[in-house]
Structure 1
């Protein structure tokens, strides 16, 4: 131990130095308090033996100054004094002394006190070092968190949850949110919504935000299907996340006309479609495993479709909402939340704000939440496509392309997406890619549903829309030998592309007259919106060969959507 002896009596210095040196300590002696302060930084004493009565600066004045110089590490100060008055000894302790020793003293007593205070000093030094290490790690963690926050902020810069038809309420348990809510408008007026809940809270689950957000925004811009999104997200998380982590997720696409929801729910509580009075008209239950669990070959990307109206609202939420604690410590629960929704919506147009305020009140009452909370409301209304101005490049040869699509392609992948991806590699078609996907997809589905599968559109009413798609899937699985043929004609100089789509089905389907004008029948009003959408984008649409061939023409000189 390094011991500093502060005493104006040389005899005491010699006696203490000899005694302490003999038992292995390093000793430095000074004559008064000022000298002790002057040599403190150089000597770095671990224990100080301090006289009370000294010239220049006495012991009572020196002790607190030495304590201040020692910083966070405890510096034991033992007063050495010939004074035995109680008030003097008491003051020694009041000014920062840790012990005192009256002269004359037994050497064994001094050694015992030195050893005892040395142990305290070592504990204090060890604690200070650990605190220093913890502070370093804390600063490093804050820096790393700042970097991650910056990355997440950039990753979510394209998020479009601020649209007038979307309302959101998000709260996290910690700095980083284990819930992930993403929104993005598609290229032709459709809107995509992703609601995810990763395992756990904090930084670890938040890392899943980066790959999901990157894929979501990219696929939404391309107008990809919900099924393809679910497959891609699952594959990415399967590669990224450890075995004990996954992401419950809900993926929604609202069609451009606002009349149809395409849904995939893997582990998120029932999403609700409510009317203007808060009454539940549809539920979207979790029919799939969460993302990041099932291998690619076993993953089920099958989606559901719901027919909705403009006065309906989709309510999506994570389990943190229904697990909110009430004043009696019981959970809000699904029934409680549904009642909360109904009561709030019946009060008027500010139903979402009412629900949000009540959830906030629950949080404030408990002063904490146990799970991340996410609540989204999506109004089912028509959205216009966004026009983008890009120059048309026509430096390609004209061509005619025939594509034959069989059951194998329909069941294994999205054949329309594959076709449009190939066409989109041409410069002149790249900017029109999303519009071409819409045209091909709607035409393909019309031919497949009505010419091949002979589906009845009257099944597609508000109560039977799900039944329609279940029957469609059943007929797809039973029909072994169907094929759909698409013949594409591309004339780059004329900035023109057309296609004829037909099948080997026997049932003709022509909901329009031969002139191509829309029928005003009730069936067309309810179920012909896909063809109405085609007419919005295409220059010409007509049924040929008595309803067996659908002919579509598209002008590439028009500004792409």
Structure 2
């Protein structure tokens, strides 16, 4: 063996030939091409040299002692790393079809038959090296893409999904088919205490499928925290995905709002497998199929398709799954399917109630029998209670008389007003707009969640009972609530008159403040005097009585506010909310 160095930056070639003269000749030609050269005079030695030096090119004779070139080539190719391509060029005096076939079968990337001119071997080396260089460039690009994917996965898991609400209570299963999952799971709490959940599945999997992940997460989280309704969030996300995503990329998604206040789940399934509502015994109460094309396919949502609303109990669970679960295949090509999922989910909820995600993953893995995963696997297990946050109550005073409003015009720090009429009442939700104004002027604070609740309850009462003239007694049962919601949507679509007037006044004092909320509507009002005696009853009795009169909203507002005053025969209300700076 001889080794000649032509420069530390040059490539290294391994020449294998039992002829010292041939080794010397080939070494000279290779050095002229900028290679450093090491040599071996038999196949066994060539394998040892390959392991030691990891050359960039191998020139291999066919007929040699101890181990011939075919066997040496097979062993070298078996040792060749997946991230490294070392071209192997056979050099032989044998010129036959059989020799060509055996060279290719042994792993050779080319063959030269003696005798040949120096120009021919130089040309052959340049040709085969171009292939090697191209492979190296592709590999470098793959490594860069891998790093980008790792960074994106860290961003998704470490930044976006780490902000999810109640991660310790909501079960999430996420198993990617590639490094980066095209599935996304988001949870956020609305200021009124409702829980919003999203399971999304972008087209395909891998880095490309994640183009819309960040704007999707930001829109979902920001709009939920500002108190927008699920319908408004879905509409906004659809428009953003339609403008942002390429035509061949879209988002299959299920959106869910769970409201303890309404004892209902609002579900919108756009292209994902069925959403399940299981009771505490693992029995399927509801199975909500996809009702809409995937998000981002159409510029606007289909008008006649809306939310599916189902009643839920605190012990129920809403479970969302991606198609990666039901379409997982075993070695025989059979799919896991819905029947197996329902059976295994029932088993998990009965035997391991708080371990549904791990149980399903175990069952899917067991079923697939080590068959490579074809698609991302995702599941979200949502308990219908246990994630609520308590709201702080003020010391309430209930008023029902025509008196001066709290505060003084001279001391007001700022004032804001929004007057909505006719069809604008159906098109605009003023509560998030009002909350945005409050937070821009006074900054973010935890007590604004209470203000959001007060604004929501008072505005909904004004719109539903004042303008739309809906009867609250419809909401006395889960089935009645569904009828109430459908009737509300029907009346909103045809609304052409009526108004709701919202006015905010803020009074700032040292280390404290007071927000006065005035809302009036075009309705006929209600018997507000009845509340004076009702709200002083025991809590359970008061809740029941309030429900019969006008829902639980007034009782909740009464608990949160410093004072609550109805006037103008109940068609107008003033609520005063105070806070202390922390």
TM bucket (normalised to shorter chain) is 0.7 to 0.9
Find the counterpart in structure 1 of residue 325 from structure 2.
321
How many angstroms apart in 2 are the aligned matches of 1:65 and 1:33? 19
- Report the Cα offset of residue 198 of structure 1: 0.9
Partner of 2:313: 309
Measure, in 2, the Cα distance between the counterparts of 1:31 and 1:382. Answer: 82
Out of 451, 455, 464, the residue aligned to residue 480 of structure 2 is 464
Alignment match, 1:530: 553
Q: Distance in 2 between matches of 1:214 and 1:252?
A: 17
Determine whether 1:446 maps to 2:461.
yes
Partner of 1:342: 346
Q: Which residue of 1 aligns with 2:59?
A: 75
For residues 460 and 500 of structure 2, what CA distance do their matches in structure 1 show? 10
In the superposition, relative to structure 1, how do residues 417 and 511 fare at CA in structure 2: closer, same or farther (>3 Å)?
A: farther
Q: Which residue of 1 aligns with 2:518?
A: 500
Q: Unpaired segments of 5 or more residues in structure 1?
A: 5-29, 51-57, 80-88, 102-108, 389-394
Q: What secondary structure, in the 3-state scheme, does the structure 2 residue paired with 1:426 have?
A: helix
d(CA) in 1 for partners of 2:464 and 2:183?
Answer: 38
Supply the distance in 2 between the matched residues of 1:551 and 1:282 (Cα, whole angstroms): 41
The SS at the match of 1:464 is: helix
User: Larger radius of gyration, structure 1 or 2?
Assistant: 1
Q: How far does residue 293 in structure 1 lie from its aligned partner after superposition?
A: 1.9
Deviation at 1:354, TM superposition (A): 3.1
Residues 1:520 and 2:542 aligned together: yes
Q: For residues 60 and 384 of structure 1, what CA distance do their matches in structure 2 show?
A: 76
- d(CA) in 2 for partners of 1:321, 1:481: 49
Contact 2:226–2:432 at 8 Å: present in 1 too?
Answer: no
User: 1: CA distance between counterparts of 2:280 and 2:223?
Assistant: 32
Q: Deviations over 1:299-344 (max 9, x none)?
A: 7895454442211111111222222335753333334422332333
> 1:148-547, aligned counterparts within 5 Å?
148-156=152-160, 158-160=162-164, 163-187=167-191, 189-255=193-259, 257=261, 259-296=263-300, 302-325=306-329, 329-347=333-351, 349-350=353-354, 352=356, 353-363=358-368, 365-385=369-389, 397-398=412-413, 402-427=417-442, 432-460=447-475, 461-493=477-509, 495-506=513-524, 508=526, 510=528, 513-515=531-533, 516-517=535-536, 519-520=541-542, 522=544, 524=546, 528-547=551-570
Aligned-pair CA distance for 1:63: 8.8
Q: 2-side partners of 1:361 and 1:64: how far apart?
A: 45
Q: Is the 8 A contact 2:252 2:295 kept in 1?
A: yes
Structure 1 distance, partners of 2:569, 2:508, is 30
Within a 5 Å distance, the mapping from 1:7-18 to structure 2 comes to: none
Q: Shift in Å at residue 91 of structure 1?
A: 6.1
Query: Matches of 2:43 and 2:382 in 1, distance apart?
Result: 72
SS of residue matched to 2:295:
coil
Shifted more, 456-465 versus 427-436: the winner is 427-436
Identify if the C-alpha distance between structure 1 residues 366 and 525 changes in structure 2 by more than 3 Å, giving closer, same or farther.
farther
- The alignment's TM-score, normalised by the length of structure 1, stands at 0.75
The CA distance in 2 between the partners of 1:441 and 1:269, in whole Å, is 33
Distance 1:70 1:557, change over 3 A: closer
Decide whether aligned partners of structure 1 residues 43 and 438 sit closer, same or farther in structure 2, where only a CA change above 3 A counts. Answer: same
Q: 1:387 to 1:276 in 2, by over 3 A?
A: closer
Inter-CA distance 543–158: structure 2 relative to 1 (3 Å threshold): farther
Instruction: Label 1:190 to 1:119 Cα distance change in 2 as closer, same or farther (>3 A).
Output: same
In the alignment, the residues of structure 2 paired with residue 264 and residue 358 of structure 1 have an alpha-carbon distance, to the nearest angstrom, of 27
Q: Residues 517-555 of structure 1: CA distance to partner in whole angstroms, max 9, x if unpaired?
A: 465364646983433432342223354444333332201
Let me know the Cα RMSD of the aligned residues.
4.3
How big is the shift at 1:67? 7.6
Given that 1:305 and 1:465 are in contact with CA atoms closer than 8 Å, whether structure 2 keeps it comes out as no
2:238 aligned counterpart, secondary structure: helix
* Separation of aligned partners in 1, 2:283 and 2:47: 74
Report the counterpart of residue 556 of structure 1 in structure 2. 579
Question: In 1, are the aligned partners of 2:278 and 2:284 still within 8 Å (CA)?
Answer: yes
User: Are residues 306 and 407 of structure 1, via their aligned partners in 2, closer, same or farther at CA, if it must alter by over 3 Å?
Assistant: farther
CA distance in 2, matches of 1:419, 1:522: 31
Question: How many equivalent residue pairs?
Answer: 500
- Paired with 2:529 and 2:327, the residues of 1 have a C-alpha distance of 49
CA contact (8 A) 1:258 1:383 kept: no
Matched, 1:144 2:128: no
Contact kept, 8 Å, 2:279 with 2:315, in 1: the verdict is: yes
User: CA 1:262–1:534 in 2, change beyond 3 Å: closer, same or farther?
Assistant: farther
> 1:20 — aligned with what?
none
User: 1:169 aligns to what SS in structure 2?
Assistant: strand
Contact 1:74–1:121 at 8 Å: present in 2 too?
A: no
Unaligned runs of 5+ in 2: 3-18, 73-89, 95-112, 393-409
Alpha carbons of 1:66 and 1:456: their partners in 2 closer, same or farther (altered >3 Å)? closer
Looking at structure 2, the residues matched to 77 and 428 of structure 1 have their Cα atoms a distance apart, in angstroms, of 79
Contact 2:254 2:270 in 1 (8 A): yes
- Cα deviations across residues 380-399 of structure 1 (Å, max 9, x unaligned)? 115443789xxxxxx98445
Contact 2:292-2:302 at 8 Å conserved across structures: no
- Determine the C-alpha separation between the residues in 2 that align with 1:112 and 1:40: 12
1:416 and 1:441 in contact (8 A); partners too: yes
Distance 1:134 1:487, change over 3 A: closer
Q: Is the 8 A contact 1:317 1:376 kept in 2?
A: yes
